[in-house]
Structure 1
Amino acid sequence: MGKYLLSFFLILLSFDSINTYLLPPLFRKFNVEIVNQLEYHKKLRVHCRSKTHDFPITYLNIGETFQFGFIIYPKTQYWCNLWQGPNYKHHVVFDAFLPDKDFIDGTCTGMDPNVCRWTAKEEGVYVRNKQFKGEYFMYTWDAPSNLEPDSPVGAPSDSD
């Protein structure tokens, strides 16, 4: 009985090691942070959501952070819309989290410290990344448009 139990334990340990290198760390806690580092006292309007959760719209002053945590499931995906104040015409939408090992380890900082930190600056949106030992430029702000901040992305405004 002891041999079978030891064999079973070694197989489980091997499978866990393979999962660590190939698969995302399922069923573990992860965090997303959005930071406002815009200039000229501009506020940042933040709206993040998933298929199952819609966070309330939040306004961040310079230096403030919006953060949320969740458990990683196979289909966990969060995307965020950011608008740059004061008129909120400059906009960007991006995937803030994907349950993909390449995204977690390559785009974000991996499971240590288990956070994907996105920073809004004048040039665009940066992500903190271990590989580049700092922030990495990811997205530029869209040109000003007539998209109203309360409208879903891609929906025309009333002025059209």
Structure 2
Amino acid sequence: MQNLSILLVCSFCILGHVSSAGIRIGNELKNKKLLWMRCYSKDDVIGPLIIPIGGHRFNYFGTNIFATTRFMCTLRQGPNYRHHQNFTAFKLYSASDDGGVWDWRAREDGIYLKIKAERGVN
């Protein structure tokens, strides 16, 4: 019976991961600059965190049934963190939108986005 309970818990975790959306923030800055990040939605706060050069941070979350899930983020470039950018890091556009993973990369010349479909993302 205990093994069945463990299997059910693991199954729910996997299903939750597959059906959820997410944000990935990657630090591709040069000269060993750290990246400070903080993201928030109506219900959740991520960070603040420091991402080292070449590092990244994944955050998966469930979307709501009203298709209003949105995350706002602030990124600050080290070492003094004077340069910063606020932006919408994730937003659903319709009830049929599953969100996918919004993959952000911070570079010297800007912040770049690639939206990946949820299926096949590791």
Match of 2:85 among 88, 92, 102: 92
Q: Distance in 1 between matches of 2:115 and 2:69?
A: 21
Per the TM alignment, residue 117 of structure 1 is displaced from its structure 2 partner at its CA by 0.3
Q: Distance in 1 between matches of 2:75 and 2:115?
A: 20
Write the letter of the residue equivalent to 1:33. Answer: R
Match of 1:127 among 87, 101, 113: 113
Extract unaligned runs of 5+ from structure 2: 1-18, 117-122
TM-superposition CA deviations, 1:64-87 (whole Å, max 9, x none): 111111112122110100000000
Q: Distance in 1 between matches of 2:59 and 2:32?
A: 24
Q: Is residue 2:76 matched to residue 1:83?
A: yes
Structure 1 length-normalised TM: 0.55
Q: Distance in 2 between matches of 1:35 and 1:55?
A: 15
Structure 2 length-normalised TM: 0.71
Write the letter of the residue equivalent to 2:33. Answer: K
- Secondary structure of 1:56's counterpart equals strand
Q: Distance in 1 between matches of 2:47 and 2:102?
A: 19
| Structure 1 outlier segments of 4+, above 2 Å | none
Match of 1:51 among 37, 42, 47: 42
Q: Is residue 2:79 matched to residue 1:70?
A: no
Moved more, 64-73 or 83-92: 64-73
Q: What fraction of aligned residue pairs are identical, expressed as a percent?
A: 33
Per the TM alignment, residue 56 of structure 1 is displaced from its structure 2 partner at its CA by 2.2
Closer/same/farther in 2, CA of residues 80 and 61 from structure 1, 3 Å limit = same
Per the TM alignment, residue 129 of structure 1 is displaced from its structure 2 partner at its CA by 4.8
Bigger RCO of structures 1 and 2 (CA < 8 A, at least 6 apart): 2
Extract unaligned runs of 5+ from structure 1: 1-27, 105-109, 131-160
Q: Distance in 1 between matches of 2:105 and 2:47?
A: 19
Match of 1:117 among 103, 111, 116: 103
- Secondary structure of 1:42's counterpart equals coil
Q: Distance in 2 between matches of 1:71 and 1:77?
A: 11
Q: Give the paired residue count.
A: 94
